[in-house]
Amino acid sequence: MKTFSSFSLFLLSLTFLSLQASQGSTTPSSYKDTQQLLNFKASVSNPTLLSNWLPNQNTCNFAGITCKDSLVSSIDLSFTHLGTNFSLVSTFLLSLDHLETLVLKDINLTGTISFTKCNSFLTTLDLSLNSLSGSLSDISNLGSCSSLNSLNLSNNGLDSSFLKGSPRLNLEVLDLSNNKLSGPTVITWLFQSSCNGMKRLALKGNKLTGEIGPTLATCETLNYLDLSSNNFSVVVPSFGECLALEYLDISANKFFGDISHSLSSCHNLRFLNISSNPFGGSIPVLPVQNLQSLFVADNELHGEIPPWLSTACSNLIQLDLSTNNLSGTVPSGFGACSSLESLDISENKFSGELPIDIFTKMGALKKLFLSFNGFSGVLPDSLSQLVKLETLDLSANNFSGSIPSTLCQGTETNLQELFLQNNLFTGSIPSSLSNCSQLVSLDLSFNNLGGTIPPSLGSLSKLRDMIIWLNKLQGEIPQELMYIQTLENLILDFNELTGTIPSGLSNCTNLNWISLSNNKLGGEIPAWIGQFSKLAILKLSNNSFSGRIPPELGDCKSLIWLDLNTNKLNGTIPPELFKQSGSIAVKYLSQKTYVYIKNDGSKECHGAGNLLEFAGIDHEQLNRISTRNPCNFTRVYEGKLQPTFYHNGSIIFLDISHNMLSGSIPKEIGSTMYLYVLNLGHNNISGVIPQEIGDIRSLNILDLSSNRLEGLIPQSMTALSLLTEIDLSNNYLSGAIPETGQLETFPASSFQNNSGLCGYPLPKCGQDPSSSLNSQHQKSHRRQASLAGSVAMGLLFSLFCIVGLIIVAIETKKRRKKKDASFDGYVDSRSHSGTANVSWKLTGAREALSINLATFEKPLRKLTFADLLEATNGFHNDSLIGSGGFGDVYKAQLKDGSIVAIKKLIHISGQGDREFTAEMETIGKIKHRNLVPLLGYCKVGEERLLVYEYMSYGVVLLELLTGKRPTDSADFGDNNLVGWVKQHAKLKISDVFDPELMKEDPTLEIELLQHLKVACACLDDRPWRRPTMIQVMAMFKEIQAGCGIDSQSTIATEDGGFSAVEMVEMSIKEVPELSSKQ
């Protein structure tokens, strides 16, 4: 009994101690933490994301919470998309007594950085990837966070307006990347007295300008500095005292000057990126003692790779010299780069045979990029010795011979990407490529390879891209490809393949681009293609496929491009083809490099055009594409595809022309709200044109020609405001052509050979056709000037941005730094056909009645909205040259080569319309030599645009100073205005000025000289040296104030200021737009 009592007492004691421990764990501080966290949960938009934050749970077990001594010390709620305002974060989280780290990355945080009561423990605050707004100076509201040393506000919406006070922070780490900061004052404001022990500073992805400032450039504690992707356009500063600097990125700016001198003392640098600046000359001497990553791409460097680089590269892991004008070959000393893992010397002018002996000495080499050079010769078998190689890119060179069969020898092979396209390889594809078991991407396009596709390639179980178009491959597509279930892109166009589409491909359900056009394939199109939910592009044109179009293709949930033209297809157009409209997702098609070759619709060129994968292929090789040769008028567009929507799209390109289809056009086609190109021409389609076709509001090209269509042209088609090309010819249509909308802007040829059709541009209804043949011919001739021609295919890609289907960023490669205007958005290969001739004569289009065109000395051209969209790449920011109270102004090149300025008025309902009419009529009434001529206009829907003759600001200023027009050939002879000023300034600079100005006040010469300096600066041969309009206004204010232009602050150069004569000699350039006016 006594024993039992003792044992009971022992249990009671344990229970009491346990209760004490339990009560002691809930201190007032931890209870306060719990309440504040629960209050925060209650305040967010989506509290269910914090489902385990419950009153009866231990706070330290809450998701994202870390404790010290039962108190909240760290919170990380990244990527939870909670949805809350900064003021609530300040109230409930930043006020936690013992919080040391708060990470709220990408939680959908909004608001401004308001005043915050902060504890003395907080050291790290990360609010990146949110939607914070307000001024940068708001960060001073964090001043109470006395221990804060790391602040990340990157990827928000902070701006640099109204900077005031001081930051009141002593930070070691500050990241303000990718905000809306601009101008020259940000760095000055951040470091008003000193850099305050700053170690890491990131300001990339803003619009900063001006000087870096001596405080930052001499910061002894700084070891990380990222100023990339800004608008700095100054001499690169000296970092002579930044002895701790290990990471420096100044890429994607306009820095110039002596980079060698600027970095001469930075011996601790491990990462250096000076890419995408206008640094010229030979490769500068850089501190490479400790460098591991060096990026010097996309500059204006020339000459050979200097010896010092190969003798000092023992520590380099990454070296990028791409996109320059470097020549010669790879120096033998590069074999000493034993640590080098990635070498990129693509897009230069290197030549000679592949220096394989050098590369095999680089035992660590994983990535080798030699594309777009002039390397030649055969590939040696010793390539197989590069056992660690993961990427080999030899595209766009002159390599010949056969592809080595020894490429992947041995049991351990790491090759993942093999790019050999655009060379001169012959022979067959070696079956031994199947040994490259890690291969993900294989591109052998644009060669002279023959034979068959090796069945052994079916063993490449990780392959995503099989791209072998434009070769001489024969035989059938092997069934063994069925084993590559990772396959996404199968592109075999322009070969001599025969047989049918192998049934084994039905296993490759990840396919999103199937392109088999221009072969000799036949049989029926398999219905099982409809099970490919990721398929976005299906191109089977120019083959011998027969049978019906499978209705199952309508089950492809991502299909946006269907090209079946020029086959032997029969049956009807299945209505099921359009059942996915409004729900199509294209998220699987991303960043594919393409060209689109637009056909002119002649008998030799079937179909609307051809979409081709074009990565790693030189533009100069386009003439090797056989479909381009017979075409009279072709445009080539290049870019990348990037999806911008997921579940509300429709097909955008449908070409089933030149087949034997019959039946009617299904009314379901009206549901394709994003369809841009519809080509049903050259079939046996009958019935009427459905009213629903007018619902395809994005339609740009419509071809229903050479069918058996009858009845009226539906009135609904007048709603197709973006229509730029239409062909209804060779049918049995009747009745009047609708008189409104875009239909009235097309020539008679678009409607010809419809015996019952009448109305403009055909003869009037009820009128004898022969009596008006002459006048209609003249009207038709005038309309040739306004034809959109091949505009629509430009719109097919530029309009993706507007309608939210696919962004196509026309990104012309900067190979060898050639600014080739023919590839600035598109390649225009014009013929001698009449369709290419575009003049500024008044077209036959009917003008808006509200505009009194009689006031104009010269007739205006009425341009289509499509014309202007294409000319400005969809009103892209790269074309923007100014903004005003009533809209933006864009520089553009029209199809006839004319350089114009397009003023796009903002939408202000009636007020904007009145401004449009008033500006047109006012300019029509006023005649003055210094008034920039109005050439044309566009009025469609709510859009109001005015088209002016383009003149650079410097040229206009020269006209005002000299009193001469650029076209005064009687004064200039074979020269032009700029050349004339340059020539006369050398003799006697006062002779340059308008005598009328000098008569009024001879003392004006000094002031005129100052204005001449401004004009010269605006015409500087080096674009990065030209002042912005804000700087120009500042110069004029200095002149008005009577202090002249300070050469150090306004037109400074590396060597100081220049005299007026020197400014003229060194700055004036021969501008193309002037030369063209002679």
Closest CA to 488 of 442, 451, 430, 522: 442
- Residue 67 Cα distances to 29, 77, 97, angstroms: 12, 15, 12
Enumerate the β-bridge partners of residue 224. Answer: 200, 247
Tokens of 722: 């973006």
CA distance 193 to 199: 16
Phi/psi-derived region of residue 664, left when phi > 0, alpha when psi is between -120 and 50, beta in every other case: beta
889 touches 881 (CB < 8 A)? yes
Say how far apart CA 356 and CA 407 lie, in whole Å. 13
3-state secondary structure of 73: strand
Q: Please, which residues have CB within 8 angstroms of residue 76's CB and are 6 or more apart in sequence?
A: 64, 66, 101, 103
DSSP state of 191: T
CA angle, 31 then 35 then 39, to 5°: 170
Residues forming the annotated binding site? 904
Residue 756 to residue 765: CA distance in whole angstroms:
9
Angle (CA) 520-522-527 rounded to 5° is 135
Do the Cβ atoms of 334 and 360 come closer than 8 Å? Answer: no
Could you give the CA distance from residue 840 to residue 831 in angstroms, rounded to a whole number? 20
Question: Rounded to 5 degrees, what are φ and ψ at 538?
Answer: -130, 110
CA–CA dist 127, 94 (Å, integer) = 12
- Pick from 728, 714, 634: nearest CA to 678: 728
- Residue 3: CB atoms within 10 A of its CB come to 7
Q: Are 863 and 628 in contact (CB under 8 A)?
A: no
- What would you measure as the largest C-alpha separation in the chain, in angstroms? 133
3-state DSSP: the chain helix, strand, coil percent, rounded to 5? 30, 20, 50
Sequence ranges of the binding site for ATP: 904
Residue of 124, 118, 130 lying closest to 94 (CA atoms): 118
Is 429 exposed, middle or buried (CB count within 10 Å of its CB: 0-12, 13-18, 19+)?
A: buried
SS3 state at 796: helix
* 84-86-91-92 Cα dihedral, nearest 10 degrees: 50
Strand partners, 378: 400
Nearest to 1076 by CA among 899, 821, 842: 899
8 A C-beta contact, residue 637 and residue 649: no
Phi, psi of 138 (to 5 degrees): -65, -15
- Strand boundaries in 590-700, DSSP class E: 592-598, 609-613, 634-643, 653-655, 660-662, 677-679, 686-688
- Evaluate whether 863 touches 936 at the Cβ level (below 8 Å): yes
Q: Where are the alpha helices (DSSP H) in 67-213?
A: 86-92, 186-190
Phi, psi of 489 (to 5 degrees): -130, 115
Do residues 46 and 81 make contact, with C-beta atoms less than 8 angstroms apart?
yes
Distance between the two ends of the chain, CA-based, in angstroms? 124
Q: Which two tokens stand for residue 431?
A: 């079956």
Give the tokens for residue 228. Answer: 């990339």
12 Cβ neighbours under 8 A, 6+ residues apart? none
